[in-house]
Amino acid sequence: MCGIWALFGSDECLSVQCLSAMKIAHRGPDAFRFENVNGFTNCCFGFHRLAVVDQLYGMQPIRVKKFPYLWLCYNGEIYNFKQLQKQFGFEYQTLVDGEVILHLYNRGGIEQTASMLDGVFAFILLDTANRKVFLARDTYGVRPLFKVLTDDGFLGVCSEAKGLINLKHSTSLCPKVEPFLPGHYEVLDLKPSGKVASVELVKFHSYKDEPLHVVCDTVENLPSGSFDLETVKSNIRVLFENAVRKRLMAHRRIGCLLSGGLDSSLVAAVLLKLMKEMNISYPLQTFAIGMENSPDLLAARKVAAHIGSEHHEVIFNSEEGIQAIEDVIFSLETYDITTVRASIGMYLVSKYIRKKTDSVVIFSGEGSDELTQGYIYFHKAPSPEEAAEESERLLKELYLFDVLRADRTTAAHGLELRVPFLDHRFTSYYLSLPAELRTPKNGIEKYLLRQSFEDSNLLPKEILWRPKEAFSDGIASVKKSWFSILQDYIDQQVDDLLLEKAVEKYSFNPPKTKESYYYRQIFEKHYSGQSNWLPHYWMPRWVKATDPSARTLKHYKSATQE
């Protein structure tokens, strides 16, 4: 995890512009580099480094003797860089996994490069010999990327929008900053003036398609074409374990977020099992956050005891949570209600990890709810086919919601996130299964995933079959949800009259509650006029919901009520 930033064709002094690059310094607390591009005085790269692999040669932009005309700035981890080296006979000059991008590009161009990378990434690749700039982002947008491109060809690119919004440019008072689409690459011509012109934006991978890099995967071909239940369950276990194993690539200590729900518990259990097999010398640190006696804390305690991790509990009160709201919204760059609620706990636990431990690479369970139909409203899906379509829609929009939350809250404290449920091969296999197999069964969501691990003894049965609890709710007590605590506080902060006139003030995505008005106010304070970064609020479907919390749905039933 790191922060990348680049400008092409800047009319303003670069020493002034580079102050914007410092807005993302939290993403790379270990080192910073600012480098001009030879022959293009108005083009430059900025890089904030979190050193996870190759402590000696990991600075960027990456340049190697073999390709002196290539410049690479990337944020991410390429898990199959050694397999690609073996497959194509690449001669690496560093231990940096991202170096493979230069070799792939030299061998087969940008299309093959983006398609063959098994990992999470956002990158800027400059080819001065052919006068091209390439931008690319991984399938689910696990690593963030924003860009601004003006009519006269000034291009700014950054890991977070906050590094672009204050750029100076002669012809535009407020250039439009927008997220770069996941699963796409863009080709731009670089003119002698340093300005650029977009040539094409191409979607290189759809999450339903088996990725091209399967040809050099460490897992051999699985039995396919058969949807026999035992075969399916075995394939799910094999692919998920492989997804965790490949993400163990790190020279820094590994930890794991643990809410005590199914997803994070499975990640932690498989992670610890593999760390033992690989003889990793230190114990796995797991981290849970919640208010006193919250369901998540109690469940996480059970899981940690079962798997034998070094467990840490972070207990916070409502005042600490409320005080963090503005910092959280600034970090997130969104005003989505459920994203803000869920981010507060994750932001506070990440802060604890950074201050109190030496864990830097943090595993988490994001992506499972979208992939395996884990949200409670899936019980109301009219048909398996519509449930499958909804699952795909959620995956497509992950970069706007859960993946955004997970990246920004951890990156704000210089941590690197790893999300095995969003492994390309695991997700494409799961989505290839018949729609009927993937739906909730017997009133239980994620039934197939739970069933697949039932005989593994990885988790206690009551955790494996624990009902869905939204992270933003599970951190509080059953008696009073986190969203209720927030609403009670905000009710005193926002006047009724302000809410009545909200549509006049905020015509796009107008707030309909005091809570959403409060978040929007804070967002506009830091990112005025950028409300279009969020196309719509996250809300459950097929139910008449006025609030995104799972606890407001009729199906919700806490363990303490049973």
Tell me which residues are annotated as active site. 2
97 labelled as ligand-binding? yes
Q: Is 529 left (phi over 0), alpha (psi -120 to 50) or beta?
A: left
Reported as half-sphere exposure (CB side, CA atoms, 13 A), residue 361 has a value of: 19
> Which pair of tokens denotes residue 45?
């790269």
Residue at 536: amino acid letter:
H
Beta-sheet strands, E only, within 292-436? 310-315, 359-363, 416-418
Distance (Å, whole) CA 99 – CA 178: 27
> How many residues are present in the chain?
562
Burial of 143 (0-12, 13-18, 19+ CB in 10 A): buried
Q: Which helix (H) or strand (E) holds 127?
A: strand 119-127
Q: What is the 3-state secondary structure (H, E, C) of 150-205?
A: CCCCCEEEECCHHHCCCCCCCCCCCCCEEECCCCEEEEEEECCCCCEEEEEEEECC
Rg (CA), the chain: 23
Q: Is 475 annotated as ligand-binding?
A: no
How do strand 253-257 and strand 285-290 relate by DSSP bridges?
parallel
257 marked as binding residue: yes
DSSP string, 474-524: HTS-SSS-HHHHHHHHHHTTS-HHHHHTHHHH--SS---SHHHHHHHHHHH
Is 194 annotated for ligand binding? no
Residue 491, marked binder: no
What CA–CA distance (Å, rounded) separates 415 from 267?
A: 18
> Which residue in 300, 47, 414, 331 sits closest to 161, CA to CA?
331
Take residue 334 and report the two structure tokens written for it: 């969104």
β strands within 25-100, DSSP E: 31-37, 40-49, 70-78
Phi, psi of 556 (to 5 degrees): -60, 135
* Token pair belonging to 50: 């979190």
Residues placed in the known binding site for ATP: 257, 289, 364-365
Residues placed in the known binding site for L-glutamine: 97
Residues placed in the known binding site: 97, 257, 289, 364-365
